[in-house]
Amino acid sequence: MIELTGTKDVQDFIQQNRLAVIFKAGICRQTEEAKRRLSPFFKKYPDIPAAKIDVVSNREASTTATGLAGKKHESPQILLFKDGKCIYTASHWRIEGLLLIDAIGL
């Protein structure tokens, strides 16, 4: 999973990948739990482009991602883009690898 730190990083990542998963991570217990629940997904599908945004130190990147998704900021949050459009989002305890698999259609 690559780290996105600025507006251009986020824009380029979404534009350059037909599917793009962005995980917006904070420093709370819920973020650690979301990482644990997503880990099997990222291990099973390593070819799906995935990126992480540290919302504490990269607020600009976080704001850009949620703006492009047309969603409000939450943390932790997962955003799934397909062909530049956000087709799925989940936050907090609703973040699940199996739901992400369903959203992608795998």
The pLDDT-based confidence of 100 (bands split at 50, 70, 90) is confident
Task: Using alpha carbons, select from 39, 40, 23 the residue that is nearest to residue 79.
Answer: 23
Number of Cβ atoms within 10 Å of the Cβ of 17: 17
pLDDT at residue number 8: 98
Residues 62-78, buried b or exposed e (16+ Cβ, 10 A)? bebbbebbeeeebbbbb
Beta-ladder partners of 79:
22, 89
Mean pLDDT of 7-27: 95
- The residues near 26 (Cβ < 8 Å, ≥ 6 apart) are 55, 56, 75, 76
pLDDT at residue number 11: 98
Instruction: Give the span between the Cα atoms of 100 and 80, in whole angstroms.
Output: 8
Residue whose structure tokens are 């995935």: 50
pTM of this prediction? 0.91
Q: Tens of pLDDT along 67-94?
A: 999 998 888 999 999 999 999 999 988 8
